[in-house]
Amino acid sequence: MPMPQPENAQTTLREFSDPSPRQTSQISHSAITPAIDYRLALAVRRELAGDDSLPRYLLAPEVTVLLGAVPDLHRRMLFEFIWNTGARINEALAVRPDDIVLDSVRPHVRLVTLKRQRNPKPGKPPASAQRRVPLLDAGFVARLRDHLVTFCPNRRRPVWEGRGGKPVTDDTARNWLSGAVAAIARKGISLSLPNPTPHTLRHSYAMHLLYCGIMPAVLQGWLGHADFRNTQIYIRVMHMEAAAAGSRHVSFGMDAAEAAALLGA
C-alpha cells in the first residue's frame, strides 16, 4: 500500500517548464527507479537538510540535474564517477585506466583507500588498502568506456589530470561543481543543499544504494569504511525515510526531463 505524501510534497516539487540542458541526457538513458518515491524522499530530505549530525547528500533527481550542468565532458565524468562508485575525491583523482575493468562479468573499479594510508610508500599499495567497487549502471559503463578511449591514451596516467599533467586538486573540483550549481540556479532550480561538494556525491551514492536495497555491510566494503559505525550514519537517515525506499534495482541515472520536472521552480 503506497504511503501518503506529506502535504508540502507537491508544493516543494513544482513543474519546471524549461527542460534541462541537452547534454544532461548523456548522464543516463535509464528510467527512474519506480519503487523509490522521490517526491516523498525529496520532501523529507529538505526537512532534514539543517541537521548537521546527518550526512549531507542529494537525491538522484538532484544529482542528475547537477551533473547535466557541468558542460565539460571530462570534468563531468569525474563527478559521475564519484556518484557511481562512492569514491573519495582523492581516490577518484588517483584512478588510472588500468584500475578500471569493464570487460568482465561484473565491471568494476579498483580503488585505493588512501584515508587508511597515513604514510603511503611508493609502489603498489597493500591489499588491505585496496577495494573493488562494482559498476552497477550499464549506461555509465558505456559512457566510461567511451571516455577512456577519447581522453586517456596512456593507461598508466591518472584519468583526471590538469593541463601539462598537473594534478587536479579538491579545490579545483569544488569550483567546477560550484559553477554547475550557479548554472542550474539561473534556470530557477534549487537543490536541497546549497553548496554540494565532491564528498556530497559520495554521501549521495551511499544513500542511493540503501534506497535500492543494498545491505549496509556490503555498502561498508564498497565505501572503504574500516569501522561499521561510519556506515551506520546512513542507516539513521533511512529510519526516517524508509517509506520512500524499496527496490533492489540499481540505476544511478534517470530521464533528464523527469529530473528537471521534479526539481523545477
46 has catalytic annotation: no
225 has catalytic annotation: yes
Residue 52: exposed, middle, or buried by beta-carbon count in 10 A (0-12, 13-18, 19+)?
A: exposed
199 has catalytic annotation: yes
Query: One of 46, 76, 143, 202 is an active-site residue; which one?
Result: 202
121 has catalytic annotation: yes
Integer-rounded Cα Rg, in Å, for the chain is 18
38 has catalytic annotation: no
Say which residue the cell 569493464 belongs to: 102
- Cβ atoms of 250 and 136 within 8 Å: the answer is yes
14 has catalytic annotation: no
Query: One of 22, 106, 121, 229 is an active-site residue; which one?
Result: 121
Residue 186: exposed, middle, or buried by beta-carbon count in 10 A (0-12, 13-18, 19+)?
A: exposed
Could you tell me where the beta strands, DSSP code E, fall in 71-190? 100-101, 108-112, 130-134
Q: How far apart are CA 108 and CA 246, in angstroms?
A: 25
Query: One of 76, 88, 108, 187 is an active-site residue; which one?
Result: 88
Which residues are known to be catalytic? 88, 121, 199, 202, 225, 234
